[in-house]
Amino acid sequence: TKYILVSGGVVSGIGKGVIASSTGLLLKTAGLKVTAIKIDPYMNIDAGTMRPTEHGEVYVLNDGGEVDLDLGNYERYLDVTLSKDNNITTGKIYREVIEKERRGEYLGRTVQIVPHITNAIQDWIERVSKIPVDDTDDEPDVCIVELGGTVGDIESAPFVEAMRQFQFRVGHENFALIHVSLVPDMHGEQKTKPTQTTVHALRGLGLLPDLIACRLLLPQPLEPATKAKISMFCHVSTEQVFGVHDVSSVYHVPLLLQSQGIVEFLRKRLNLASLNITLGMV
Ligand code: ADP
């Protein structure tokens, strides 16, 4: 299985979910089987007990799981059926580790965030990524993992550390990272500093972005000069900097990513040819 982690910086709600689903849709269109996992770094076991005004609409899965609406995006974009285990929360991970501790399965050792919580997160992702999500019984080729919240939060820290370890567990050629950042427009000038800061924080935590998706909250596309600046200051090539401006419908986001060569990039980066599937043109 190939894993694509989608993380976010600067502010929440910048369109990580839409970028993650769109990437999945493009890979599915190229002929791959795609599944998705959403990580919500809160202590609630699930969204079922959360006020809709607090959390937004709760999405109900076929198995009765009450989850984040992003799972609904994945089911619609990818035409798959997900289970409640495709939504990981801090609450679920802690519950699993604490129950294991009560059963004595840690054999008297001290139970800690590193390695026990971080291992539980990695084991969970590996297990769920292999569950078939369509009516064939095939294991998915690609698993999109969307990390909710923003990198640098206390809440997401155990997940960030788990993913840092995970890239070595599965190997470089099986793990890519898309980091979504905000490029604010100040009186017509596209500002790169928030992106520099969040990419710096990400690297400090041991995660290197393969793609930086720059979200602009206006209909104007990312300017070439802004792209060049982000490339230089964030130590990536310009091909690794994507612009995602405001579009009239979120269903245009896949086209926006495709026009910037995301499938080609991932094909090389993740050596998708090794999956022995004839990849179609998108
Ligand atoms: P996050 O996962 O970062 O919280 P979402 O993907 O849920 O963010 O997107 C937040 C909101 O922004 C949604 O209502 C979505 O429809 C909207 N949105 C996301 N990307 C775009 C875009 N490129 N153009 C217009 N609206 C967008």
- Any idea which residue has 């200051």 for tokens? 233
Q: Ligand 1 pocket, 178 CB below 6 A?
A: no
pLDDT (0 to 100) of residue 281 = 60
Q: Listing from the earlier edge strand, what are the strands of the sheet with 241-244?
A: 87-89, 34-40, 142-147, 2-8, 175-182, 211-215, 241-244
Residue 279: pLDDT above 80?
A: no
Q: Which residues pair with 175 in a beta bridge?
A: 3
Q: What is the mean pLDDT of the chain?
A: 93
Q: Ligand 1 pocket, 12 CB below 6 A?
A: yes
**Where is pLDDT greater, at 50 or 200?**
200
Q: Ligand 1 pocket, 72 CB below 6 A?
A: no
pLDDT (0 to 100) of residue 278 = 63
Q: Ligand 1 pocket, 69 CB below 6 A?
A: no
> What angle, rounded to 10 degrees, do the helices at 224-234 and 193-204 form?
30
- Would you say 175 and 271 are in contact if contact means Cβ atoms under 8 Å apart? no
What is the ipTM score, two decimals? 0.94
Of 10, 18, 67, the one to substitute when testing ligand 1's pocket (max ligand atoms within 8 A of C-beta) is 18
pLDDT (0 to 100) of residue 58 = 87
Ligand 1: centre distance to CA 56 (Å): 13
Residue 20: pLDDT above 90?
A: yes
From the CA of 70, give the closest atom in ligand 1. 7
Residue 265: pLDDT above 90?
A: yes
Mean pLDDT of 68-89: 90
Q: Ligand 1 pocket, 157 CB below 6 A?
A: no
The alpha carbon dihedral of 54, 5, 89, 196 has a sign of negative
